[in-house]
Amino acid sequence: MSPPITPGEDAEATLLQGLYGPRHRFCPTPNPQLKVVLSLDREIDLVELEGICDAVGWSRRPLRRVRKALQNSLLCVGLWRHHPRLPRLIGFARCTGDGVIEATVWDVAVHPLYQGAGLGRQLMAYVLDELEQQGVERVSLFADPGVVGFYSSQGWQLEPLERRCAFWYAP
Amino acid sequence: MSPPITPGEDAEATLLQGLYGPRHRFCPTPNPQLKVVLSLDREIDLVELEGICDAVGWSRRPLRRVRKALQNSLLCVGLWRHHPRLPRLIGFARCTGDGVIEATVWDVAVHPLYQGAGLGRQLMAYVLDELEQQGVERVSLFADPGVVGFYSSQGWQLEPLERRCAFWYAP
């Protein structure tokens, strides 16, 4: 049996559902003042996303292209610092793919101010849980040298069957 | 100025357009009897595709899942042995992606009976031309050890910035 829900808890649940959608998930952090929420449904503010990309040192792209890329993604996940009126985007990840056999993870970022608290791992776990629920067989990503350990410690297989990654850049 | 089109050529062009769609492309081969055509538009027969996958040694998947994966792909390319009534599928490739920033190539295969005639290179060139026309910035793929040379000789960069590929398999 679930514990009884008090009126306050009920109002809080309604607020969170309204802000972050039905599939949101809390991220425990070492700081009790910091309430962080993962969401598949809350719309990503592109200017806030650009701020995170700047902070982690990625090159800028035209916002209209980013908007279209996000619209065409299989899923976009936002990591939010909770605030009842104005949640702030502090992390992000997205996937492309066919939603059945293959999905590929891109643009995994946590704002440097919020790194080191295990939020990146919780972000990736949330992405994989969602893809697994969709029935995707295999998920892939391209890891920069600095994050290879981050992924391999979470059950990702590095270069299985000695596969190598190759890129082609538009001229 | 284009050369004048004879009535026979005109009928042939109409036939080819009907079979393979407006964006088809001929593949020159060393054998003048063998007419091979690339198409983005001709519907892929899943049983024929399964035959190619069997011939190159890939494991089988349920056809309904393959159908859904193809429907959700950014593009699917068929390589056809031309016949006016019954073209035969002899090669295949597909891409997933957002169609703007990222595209990823999967399932590149040419039937072993038709390998060694440069058809795989022409298939890849066709895929990249189409993605470039769509305005995709970057194309990625995962190369098995045996085909690394095939891709690197066609302008693909192997592991740029020392990126490594990682895979996660659904339990």
A135 CB neighbours in chain B (<8 A) are 170
B15-33 pLDDT, tens digit per residue, is 999 999 999 999 999 998 9
Give the span between the Cα atoms of A96 and B97, in whole angstroms.
Answer: 5
Q: How confident is the model at residue B4 (pLDDT cuts 50, 70, 90)?
A: low
Q: By CA distance, what is B155's nearest residue in A?
A: A168
Give the span between the Cα atoms of B63 and B77, in whole angstroms.
Answer: 18
Cβ atoms B120, B105 nearer than 8 A: no
| Yes or no, beta carbons of A104 and B98 under 8 Å apart | no
pLDDT on residue A12: 86
Between A70, A135, A156, which is nearest B166 by CB?
Answer: A156
Q: Tell whether the model's pLDDT for residue B5 goes beyond 60.
A: no
* Owner of token pair 């809390």: A26
A35-68 pLDDT, tens digit per residue, is 999 999 999 999 999 999 999 999 999 999 999 9
B92-147 pLDDT, tens digit per residue, is 999 999 999 999 999 999 999 999 999 999 999 999 999 999 999 999 999 999 99
Chain A segment 94-113 residues within 8 A of B by beta carbon are 96-102, 104, 106
A153 touches chain B (CB under 8 A): no
The ranges of chain A with pLDDT < 70 are 1-7
pLDDT on residue B6: 66
pLDDT on residue A75: 97
pLDDT on residue A54: 97
Q: How confident is the model at residue B2 (pLDDT cuts 50, 70, 90)?
A: low
pLDDT on residue B10: 85
**Which residues pair with residue A80 across a beta bridge?**
A37, A89
How many A/B residue pairs have CB atoms within 8 Å? Answer: 175
B141 touches chain A (CB under 8 A): yes
Chain B segment 121-140 residues within 8 A of A by beta carbon are 128, 131-132, 135-140
A151 CB neighbours in chain B (<8 A) are 166
Tell me the two tokens of residue B27: 């593949």
Chain B segment 72-91 residues within 8 A of A by beta carbon are 72-73
B47-67 pLDDT, tens digit per residue, is 999 999 999 999 999 999 999
**Residues B122-152 as b or e (16 or more Cβ within 10 Å = b):** bbbbbbbebbeeeebbebbbbbeeeebebbe
pLDDT on residue A23: 95
Write down the catalytic residue from B20, B114, B126, B151.
Answer: B151
**Which residues pair with residue B169 across a beta bridge?**
A138
Q: Which of A75, A101, A127 should one mutate to test binding to chain B, selecting the residue with the greatest count of B CBs within 10 A?
A: A101
